[in-house]
Structure 1
Amino acid sequence: MQEITNIKDINDPQIKEFISLRKSAHDEKYVVVESTTVFKKLFSANIKIHKVFITPEHLDFLQQNCKDINFPILTASTELMKEIVGHKIHQGMLALIDKPQFISFDEIKGNIVVLNGLTSPENVGSIVRSCAAFDIGTLIIDEKTCSPFIRRCIRVSTGNLFNVNVYKSSALKDDLVKLKEQGYTISTTANAENAISLKDYTFPTKAGIVIGNEGFGVDEEIFELSDNILKIDIHEEVTSLNAAIATSIILFKMSS
C-alpha cells in the first residue's frame, strides 16, 4: 500500500481540494466523490484517482477493493472528517478524481433520455441510476439542468454515472431536430388532453424521452417538436409523480 499520511489540521494544504470542491462546480476540472458504493464503481472505471481521504477504519476496505493503489492516501479522525464534509452523516471516504467527460454529439447512441431544466441533484442522480439500470445508451442534459457530475448527484446515482454516456447540449431544440433527422422518435411526458397512455404505447427502436422541469414541465419549443406526448395513468387525486420516479416507470416500459 502507498504511504499513508495522517491529517490533523483542517487547514492542511494536502486536503484543500476536499474543502474547496465540496459542491463541485460545473467548471471544475476535478470532482469529489464519496461512500463505499461509489468507491466500488470508481475502482472498476477508467477514471484517474488523484488522492483519497479516509478514516483509518476504511484502510482495509481500500486495500481489498482497489487492485492498483497508485495514489496518495490521507487519513483523519472521524471528528475532523465531519468538519470537512460539512454534515454529520457520512461514511468517512472521499476521493478526488478527474471529472468525467461529456461525450460529443456524434457519440450519442442507443435509446436516449433528455433532461430539460431539471434542477434537483437528487432527481438527476436518481435518473442517472435508472439510465444505468435500464441500459439507456445516452443521457442528454441541457444548460438549465443540474450537472450530473456534482458530488450529490454522483452519490445519489450510487456511482452509476461512471457507466452512463452523458451529452451536454447548448442548443437542445437544434440537437433534437438533428436526432429526429437521424431516425429518432422524440416523446415528451405531460398530462395533456391528447397524451397517449404509457401502457398503450410501444417505443420504436430509436427512441428518446424528454423529462421536463420539476415545476414547469417541458419547454414549449421542445414540446412542440415532440412526435408524441406520453402520460402515466395515476389516481386522479395525485396530480403528478416525482420526475425521477416517473422516469423509472417510463424506462421500464421502454426496455420491455
Structure 2
Amino acid sequence: MQEIIEINDISDVRIKEFISLRKSLVDENQVVVESKNVFKKLFSTNIKIHKVFTTLEHLDFLKQNCKDIDFPIFTANNEVMKEIVGHKIHQGMLALIDKPKYINFEDIKGNVVVLNGLTSPENVGSIVRSCAAFNINTLIIDEKTCSPFIRRCIRVSTGNLFNIKVYKTNTLVSDLIKLQTHGYKVLTTANHENAISLHKFEFPKKSAIVIGSEGFGAQQEVIDLSDEILKIDISEEVTSLNAAIAASIVFFQMAKS
C-alpha cells in the first residue's frame, strides 16, 4: 500500500484540488469525485486515480475495494475534513481522477438518451442514474447541456456515469438526422397536441429518446424532425413533471416493451 500522508492544514497545496467547490483548482482533464457509492463504481473501472483524500476511518474501505493502490493517500482527522465545506457533504472521501472522455458518433450503440439543453447538474446526474438502472448505455448531450462529468453530476449519479458512454454534439439536429439514417426512431417527450400517450406506445428496437430542457422543453427543430412525440398522462392540475422524473417514467415504459 502507498504511503499514507497526514494533512493538518487545509491550505496544504498537496490537497488544493479538494478544497474549493466554487473556484476550481482542477485541471480541465481531471475531476474530483466523492462518496463511498462513487468510489465503489470507480474501483471497477480503468480510470486513472491521481490521489485520494480521506479520513482514517475509511482506509480499510480503500484496502478492501481497490485492488491496485498506486496513488498517494492523504488523510486528515474529522475536524480538518469538516473545514472543507463540511464532512457530511463529501462523506470524508475524495479522489482526483482523469475525467472520462466523450465517445465518437460511430461508437453509439443500442437505445440512446438525448439531452437537449438540460442545465441542472442534479437532473443530469439523476438521468444518468436512471439510464444505468434501465440498461441504457449511451447518452447524447448537446452544447447547452450541463456536462455529466462535473463533480455534482457524478455524485448524483452515484458513480453510474462510469458505466455510461457519452457523446457530445455541437450539431444536434444533424446528428439526430444521421441517427435516423442508421435506423433509429427519434422520440421526443413533450406536451404537444399531436403527442402519443406513453402507455399506448410500443417502442422500436432502436430508440433515441429526447429529453428537453427544464424550462422550455425540446427545441422546435428537434420536435419537427422527431418520428414521434410522446407525453406522460398526468393530472391537469400539474402542468409538467421534473425532467429527471419524466425521463425515469419513459425509461421504465421502454424497458417493458
Residue number in structure 1 paired with 2:73: 73
Q: Give 5+ residue unaligned stretches, structure 2.
A: none
Residue number in structure 1 paired with 2:88: 89
Residue number in structure 1 paired with 2:230: 230
The one-letter code sitting in structure 1 at the alignment partner of 2:12 is: D
**Equivalent residues of 2:115, 2:212 under 8 A apart:** yes
The one-letter code sitting in structure 2 at the alignment partner of 1:30 is: Q
Q: Distance in 1 between matches of 2:245 and 2:133?
A: 13
**Equivalent residues of 2:123, 2:243 under 8 A apart:** yes
Residue number in structure 1 paired with 2:37: 37
* Count of aligned pairs between the two proteins: 255
How far 1:137 moved relative to its partner?
3.0
Q: Distance in 1 between matches of 2:79 and 2:19?
A: 15
Q: Distance in 2 between matches of 1:161 and 1:41?
A: 9
**Equivalent residues of 1:24, 1:30 under 8 A apart:** no
TM-score by length of 1: 0.96
**Equivalent residues of 2:119, 2:144 under 8 A apart:** yes
Q: Deviations over 1:61-112 (max 9, x none)?
A: 111111111110000122222222x245231000000001110011001001
Q: Deviations over 1:18-54 (max 9, x none)?
A: 2367676998110000000100000001100111000
Q: Distance in 2 between matches of 1:108 and 1:140?
A: 9
Q: Deviations over 1:128-181 (max 9, x none)?
A: 001111111310000100110011100100000000011001110110010011
Q: Distance in 1 between matches of 2:41 and 2:153?
A: 14
**Equivalent residues of 2:17, 2:26 under 8 A apart:** no
Residue number in structure 2 paired with 1:179: 179
Q: Distance in 1 between matches of 2:201 and 2:126?
A: 24
Residue number in structure 2 paired with 1:54: 54
Q: Secondary structure at the match of 1:139?
A: strand
Aligned pairs for 1:141-220 (under 5 A) are 141-220=141-220
The one-letter code sitting in structure 2 at the alignment partner of 1:235 is: S
Q: Secondary structure at the match of 1:71?
A: coil
Q: Secondary structure at the match of 1:230?
A: strand
The one-letter code sitting in structure 2 at the alignment partner of 1:105 is: F
TM-score by length of 2: 0.95
Q: Give 5+ residue unaligned stretches, structure 1.
A: none
The one-letter code sitting in structure 2 at the alignment partner of 1:100 is: P
The one-letter code sitting in structure 2 at the alignment partner of 1:89 is: K
CA RMSD of aligned residues (A): 1.6
The one-letter code sitting in structure 2 at the alignment partner of 1:60 is: D
Q: Distance in 1 between matches of 2:14 and 2:126?
A: 32
Q: Distance in 2 between matches of 1:185 and 1:108?
A: 14
